[in-house]
Amino acid sequence: MIGEDELQAFIDDRLDGERRAAVEAHLAAHPELRERIAAERRQRALLRAGLQAKFDEPVPDRLRIANLRAARRGLRTRAWTNAAAAAAIFVVGATAGWFAGGIAPQALPTAAAPTASVADGATAAYRTFVVEVAHPVEVGVQQEQHLLQWLSKRLGRKLAAPDLSRFGYRLMGGRLLPGGSGAAAQLMYDDASGRRLTIYVRAADGTETAFRFRKEGDASTFAWIDQGFGFAVTAMASREELLPIAEAVYRGFGS
């Protein structure tokens, strides 16, 4: 006799040859049941085939274990190491530097590539949105908590908005952007005169690099990589003006 459990195992192709043959014989003798089982096997096959595309998609950066771990490690150790790391990173920055143009690419340290691409993304985003009058940000500062939760979730990293009030900048809000193979977050600040500054964050290869400075037209950018994420601070400002702000942002991302 064939039970319901065995019919299910038949639908799932989990019977050995002998039991399988027995079920097939039973179905041959019961056309109505045979039709039902055939329909349920088709449903199963259709569901598998239809969801295969989702399985084949490349895994987004924010789900990569290295990035998730970096975020976790960051939360645990940041408070202890921030001051020391900030000091060390500027020493490296002073010697390695980032010489945009003038020096052949092979002369640059290998870590320059991801930092450069973060700086590229940050500058492009800055140029696009800093001139935007109607919708400079997607979510305004009135909803700061929601904004930060949302961006944190999409980045796969806890994101806080550093307090830049001592430099005269206050948070306007932020937006989500495409960045590399995943998402990037942009936080926008402005000062009393309406000058805008952006902080740009996205997943990036690498654990730690020096600050890299670059100036493109009026826009200055400091970019760096820290524990699997790339950061960039961009503003219409001189290197000397921007450096202490970048330093504060670097330290601010610990909280």
Partner 1 sequence: MADAGTLLEPLIPALRRFAYALVRDHDAADDLVQDTLERALSRWTLRRPDGDLRAWLFAILRNLHVSSLRQRQRRGPHIDLDEAPPPGIAATQESGLEMQDMLAALDQLPEEQKSLLLLVGVEDLSYDDAARVMGVPTGTVMSRLSRGRQRLRSILEKGLETGRTTLLRRVK
Judged by the rule CB under 8 A, the positions of this chain that interact with partner 1 are 4-5, 7-9, 11-12, 36, 39-40, 43-44, 46-51, 53-57, 59-60, 62-66, 68-69, 72, 139, 146, 150, 153-154, 156, 176
Residues 6+ apart with CB under 8 A from 133: none
CB of 138 to partner 1, least distance (A): 8
Complex with partner 1: residue 72 or 239, whichever CB lies closer: 72
Whole-number minimum distance, CB 224 to partner 1, in Å?
Answer: 24
Q: Which residue lies nearer to partner 1 by CB, 141 or 176?
A: 176
Closest CB 213 distance from partner 1, rounded Å: 33
Please choose, from the candidates 114, 100, 43, 116, the residue with its C-alpha nearest in 3D space to the C-alpha of residue 215. Answer: 100
Closest approach of partner 1 to the CB of residue 36, in Å: 7
Shortest Å distance, C-beta 70 to partner 1 = 11
- Helices 17-29 and 31-56, packing angle to 10 deg: 130
| Choice between 1 and 65, CB closer to partner 1 | 65
Judged by CB, which is closer to partner 1: 12, or 241? 12
Closer residue to partner 1, CB minimum distance, 5 or 240: 5
